[in-house]
Amino acid sequence: MSDCVRYPAPGCVVEYLEGNAVQIALVTEEAGGRLRLLLPNRRETRLNSSRLLPWLGPVYAADLGREDAVRLLEAHKKNREELAVQIPVMDVWELAQGEVELAPASWFAELFESDPNTDHVSAYGRALLASKSHFRFQPPDFQVFSADMVEKRMVEEKARLEREALAAGGAAFLRLLWEVACRKRELPQPPLEGAALGEWPPQEVAERLEEVLFSRMVDPESQEYENVWRTLSKGLPDVPHLPLQLLVAWGKVPAHYNFWLDRAGYAAGDSWWADCGDEVAALTAAGSDPVNAYARQWPDGALETCDQPCISIDSATTRDVDDAFHIAAEGDGWAITLMLACPALFWNFGGPLDKLVLHRGTSIYLPEGDCHMLPEVLGTDAYSLLAGQARPALRVLVHVASDGTLDGCEISVVQTSLAANLTYVDSQAVLDALAAGEALPQNAAAPFAEQLRMGLALARQRQTARIADGAVIMDRPDPVIRLEGEGAEVRVEVGLDYQASDAQMLVAEMMILASAAVAQWAADQGVAMLHRVQDVALPKEYAGIWTTPQDMTRIMRALTPSGLEVQARPHAALGLARYTPVTSPLRRYPDLVNEEQLVHYFRTGQPRWTEAELVDLLNVLSPALDAAGQVQRFRPRYWKLLFFRQKGDKVWWNGVITEENDAFVTVSLPDQGMFVRGRRRMFDERAHPGLAVDVRIGKVQPLYNEIMILEAVPAD
């Protein structure tokens, strides 16, 4: 290293960093640490000596001519660049790692060169500067990173390079997709293999871009891609659900894609349980032959068979039948047997399938199709209470007095086989004929007319008793959403369906009765359960059946949402001191948990979970139920908004004013099950809750959940 020097005198070849790149120059003048430098491009610059890289030399004559100096600089530059390319940086790091923490470039050069000159030292310095994952320049030395630090920095460097490539190749493509989403242009055809990309990003960038868009669609608040998303979306409008719109424009998801399921982490379809096939097969076999399955699992016990001819009543499309009943007169009152599907009997709580089902939390029923909580082979077959099929069941025998109050109940686990699966339509037709004193219709419900008659009498008496205890009943029609077509061509229809009011009320009261009876039994036995709670004080005059939109809106303002709790407290709207959901174990996980508490108690004398354990379980279950609840609320509303947009803004709709203030008026559209709002100035001075109006609707954006009244007039 005889050509290396310590001080940058005139004629000395030096190097410095400019724009993160090494620059070479020749010192032509030095004064008090200030240097005048000649560059290879024949220009001059001034520089503080403190900025020089710590390898100086060689030194040439101070009076060297400009052309000769430039030729020397170009030669040194070329030589140093060629040498730097040949340096085995990884071998250098392997030898140095663990030996030294800090060393100058000359030390590294001496590891591989017998007599390194300044060009060699510069080449090693250049190579180490370029290897930021393994070395850090801390003038005048280089820090040698440990193996752990190298691995970490390589991951960071890879991520940085990916971000830069994504930003460079993805931003323009996102702008193209937005133009497609706004229908300003068509999406160009993707390039054939080997062809020019045109407006499409490279394959690896496209894959990464898709990953970012899906991540932002599912969780807009995630910080994982926050910085890169900010860069990619710069210049695009800040609108809700932008990633979804771009994915639709790209063709990665279909039009009207249900992103709410993704946000809930809820898998649609019936393949989510595929990895638990053996467990599902065992449960299927047990549910189809419960007596023998029970004997094999618990040889010291036996499962009773119940031969009562119970019937279920559901909509014609229901496949997961989880409740049925049989009613008989008992003195002045009734003895009602409620049969509840019992998947808990053979369920492996804490097992792989249970963890998946717990994450789902509940079945979701949507216009485009149902998402079942359980595998369909279990929920709609092996444990569904299908007529003529042996099934495990939880039997709740409730004694009801003539005034509708409870006289206690008895609970057991049995095998049952229903007498019939009836529909609301057929059951209502029989009830209508009985009320009119006419001949019974010739349908599947006719043979059970007496059961239906007694069931309706009991239901009415129970409803009266609940109202006396403060129950608030909202009697409003439930519009039906029907979809025709697929994808972008789907058409939506919303309207009222046939209302089997008596049959539906009969079933509703039976289910409320079962949950109230089980809640009281659990309290008497000291068995911890999950309770549905709505502990709010209501004025006495709120009790009753309400039918008008303005009354229902007024009363709903006083009601707080119900919630699941371990402590039993009142449910105000139901008029019950305690309410334990247990009637839908095929559809709701809390019901499955409560059923297991009962099943385990009858088999062992103890409930499965303590109160504290139920609290822990609820902490895991509640987020899943909340997420699924968002899907159930927002998705049907999306279809309703699309319905209004498809109908256009020239249609007039019948409504009733429910609320009004100085700024806005809220109108209920009962036939569509919607509330819409308009500015107060659109309504005349007669506007008040209860006034019938006709409204014209526009500015509908289903994806943004936006809808407005454009015009309103009093109804004729």
User: Please, are residues 84 and 77 in contact by the beta-carbon 8 Å criterion?
Assistant: no
Residue 169 inside a domain? The answer is: yes
**What is the reported pLDDT for 195?**
47
Residue 583 inside a domain? The answer is: yes
CATH number for the domain including 669? 2.40.50.140
Instruction: Mark whether 532 and 610 lie in a shared domain.
Output: yes
Instruction: Mark whether 354 and 437 lie in a shared domain.
Output: yes
Rounded to the nearest 5 degrees, what angle is found at the Cα of 274, between the Cα atoms of 268 and 275?
125
Instruction: Mark whether 693 and 545 lie in a shared domain.
Output: no
Residue found under tokens 């103890």:
606
Task: Compute the distance between CA of residue 215 and CA of residue 211 in angstroms, rounded to an integer.
Answer: 6
Residue 258 inside a domain? The answer is: no
Instruction: Mark whether 35 and 63 lie in a shared domain.
Output: yes
Q: Which of 607, 582, 604 is nearest to 592 (CA)?
A: 582
Instruction: Mark whether 242 and 311 lie in a shared domain.
Output: no
- In this predicted structure, the answer to whether residue 196 has a pLDDT above a threshold of 60 is no
Residues in the chain: 716
**What is the reported pLDDT for 6?**
85
**What is the reported pLDDT for 192?**
66
- In this predicted structure, the answer to whether residue 2 has a pLDDT above a threshold of 70 is no
Lowest pLDDT segment from 95-104, 508-517, 581-590: 95-104
Give the chain's domain count.
Answer: 4
Instruction: State pLDDT tens for residues 540-580.
Output: 999 999 999 999 999 999 888 999 999 999 999 999 999 99
Residues 6+ apart with CB under 8 A from 504: 424
User: Please, are residues 120 and 84 in contact by the beta-carbon 8 Å criterion?
Assistant: no
Domain C-terminal end among 79, 114, 145: 145
Residue 8 inside a domain? The answer is: no
Residue 304 inside a domain? The answer is: yes
Instruction: Mark whether 612 and 685 lie in a shared domain.
Output: no
Band (1; pLDDT cuts 50, 70, 90): very low
Residue 268 inside a domain? The answer is: no
Neighbours of 322 (CB within 10 A): 25
Instruction: State pLDDT tens for residues 153-165.
Output: 888 888 777 777 7
Band (647; pLDDT cuts 50, 70, 90): very high
**What is the reported pLDDT for 193?**
64
**What is the reported pLDDT for 26?**
96
Structure tokens at 23: 């620059």
Instruction: Mark whether 228 and 113 lie in a shared domain.
Output: no
**What is the reported pLDDT for 497?**
84
Band (189; pLDDT cuts 50, 70, 90): confident
Residues 369-402 as b/e (b if ≥16 CB within 10 A, e otherwise) read: ebbbbbbbbbbbbbbbbbbeebbbbbbbbbbbee
DSSP string, 662-710: SSEEEEEETTTTEEEEEEGGGS-TT--TT-EEEEEEEEEETTTTEEEEE
Domain housing 181: 149-253
Instruction: Mark whether 344 and 458 lie in a shared domain.
Output: yes
- List the beta bridge partners of residue 706: 701
**What is the reported pLDDT for 482?**
96
Domain C-terminal end among 145, 166, 189: 145
Residue 111 inside a domain? The answer is: yes
Residue found under tokens 């860069």:
231
Instruction: State pLDDT tens for residues 254-263.
Output: 999 999 999 9
Q: What is the mean pLDDT of the chain?
A: 93
**What is the reported pLDDT for 320?**
96
Instruction: State pLDDT tens for residues 287-331.
Output: 999 999 999 999 988 999 999 999 999 999 999 999 999 999 999
Instruction: Mark whether 410 and 293 lie in a shared domain.
Output: yes
Band (184; pLDDT cuts 50, 70, 90): confident
**What is the reported pLDDT for 699?**
93
| Mean pLDDT of the region 611-616 | 97
Instruction: Mark whether 617 and 672 lie in a shared domain.
Output: no
Instruction: Mark whether 231 and 278 lie in a shared domain.
Output: no
| Mean pLDDT of the region 180-191 | 85
Instruction: Mark whether 224 and 347 lie in a shared domain.
Output: no
User: Please, are residues 336 and 404 in contact by the beta-carbon 8 Å criterion?
Assistant: no
Residue 265 inside a domain? The answer is: no
Domain C-terminal end among 607, 637, 667: 637
Task: Compute the distance between CA of residue 22 and CA of residue 266 in angstroms, rounded to an integer.
Answer: 54
